Chains A and B, each alone.
Chain A
Amino acid sequence: MRDFDYIRPATIPDAIAAAAEPGSAYLAGGTNLLDLMKGGITSPERIVDISRLPELNRIERLDDGGLRIGALVRNADLAYDPAFAKSYPAVAEALLSGASAQLRNAATVGGNLLQRTRCSYFYDTASACNRREPGAGCDALDGENRLHAVLGWSDACIATHPSDFCVPLVALDAVVEIEGKKGRRHVTLEEFHRLPGETPQRENALEPGDLIVAVRLPAEAASFSANARYLKVRERTSYAFAVVSAAAALVVDGGKIRAARLALGGVAAKPWRARTAEAVLLGADASEATFANAADAALADASPSGDNAFKIELARRIVVRALISALSGTPERLPALPASPFSNIPGARHDA
């Protein structure tokens, strides 16, 4: 690991001033940053440790019925907060389907949004990667790419965003609260992450020094609590990134869909909000036929970026199944294997 200066500012303005200097990186839980530093994928000259900044580790109900989650709230603390899990069950399920218990105890809300892709060519410094080194090329294009993007990719980059947490968040209209040199601003999570285009190195809306201070959920997000699920296909039962995942949330009245939210994970460089599918669902019968139409709409623009055409059909089926799960109702208690497609089978063993 390259040498770096370590500073631990006492206030948010001090942190922003320090991090605005070139070569700086914020450190919170460190679960992704240290991994990247050990691999030489990123080599900050200055680490700005924000893990003790005051007031960023709170979960607050807002007067307008929304929720404000401090950027330093740990993944496990959020997922196991009973009031949070009751109001936003798909978000809790997504959190608990990600990483391991040890990582969830360290990883933070803000850090989850900022985690880097797990594309193996991004991680391998001997490979060409436009995201790591702009203009270098993309070895994933002709490489092992069965897990790469099927939506929103470009010839410059076909990597996916690895977060589970962000998938239900983007479906529920989450907003990122950012403090920077020019003050505080709000950016919707949908606009926060960027598609690669010709500049895959520009991954999000942050400017130098910008600090995520909170993630907000609007009041309406809790209205889906009775019918909201996250479903995630992995290459092993637990502790693996999504091949494809989906967050589905419905409000159903008299067999008709009164409100619908749908987002996909593992398919693009950002958590993918499927708005055209939501339009198909709205006002339609809550039936499998409707869900299949919605799935077709969600994947209408998908195309393989390599040996991954299977992910398009897989995503369709995951969308349908996530919607069926949401329709059948949020379970009283999260299943033993959160978000697993195997956990609906009573008494079955899923690890053999």
Chain B
Amino acid sequence: MDTFINFFNAAVLAGTPLLFGTLGELLTEKSGNLNLGVEGMMFMGAISGLAAVFLLELGFGFEMSGGLAVLIAILFAFLAGALGALIFSILVVSFRTQQNVTGLILTIFGIGFGNFFGEFLGRFAPGHAVTISGLAREGFSGLHIPVLSDIPVLGPLLFQYNILVYLAIGIAIVMAIFLNRTRFGLNLRAVGESPATADAASINVTRYKYLATCIGGGICGIGGMYVSMITTGGAWVHNSIQGLGWISVALVIFATWSPSRALLGALVFGALSIMRFYLPLGIPMQIYDTFPYIATILVLIVTSIRQSKEHSPPGLLGVNYFREER
């Protein structure tokens, strides 16, 4: 039982950055923009969230509580991710550049941005590494919720994660309600499915595309910050995102553009990525490392075979909208 709880906990922790990335990209794709820059936006969020806390502590000698550190990290990671997405939106929506190419450029830019500032700022740090103080780090540790965390089995299984895990789940729920029950969600989906129809129904296509893409990018940024604050324990590690952004892009397909299925997908992929520690099969470690990627390929094959209207990508995903071409 304990092994299972440990395994489940580890899967949730490993799956959460994927969940952020997936939800961010999902929102973006609902507007018809295929932003392949998730990896880059996660890098931007990772360094910005970390650097904001680091600089406030080091540069201004600001002693902050864990809670404040979390808020600052979320804010700056979101802004950095949204900035990346804003660059993407300006290029794609306003200047109508090709979406795939633009996304790839954003990835390359974001990786460079993250690693450059990560290493550059390290030169000013006492240990030549960007790290945050123990006090700030406490904000990112597991919560102890009165009563709930103490329930046997269920407590450790569900109620003792760090605050970002609950934030990700909360975003998933809000996004599901937003897309399916609200007027703006309906409008956004129409923009992705058929911008010409949305335009004719006097929906501001450009505004929806910009907003969905930038908020989506911000959510991806928080996913990156999760890695630098929790996975690597509040210290900058070179290339720390390591392809999580790419798996997120695939997970959007796995989730067939549904936030609730994204929850399941992120958990499964989280479990695959930490399996080697919990399920010894006597095979080389490197083979375990390939599992998430193999699963991604399988998912892509299965979803392309099983074509159903309900589980299809937004109708005009990846296609820029020109009103004149109606």
> Are A and B genuine complex partners?
no
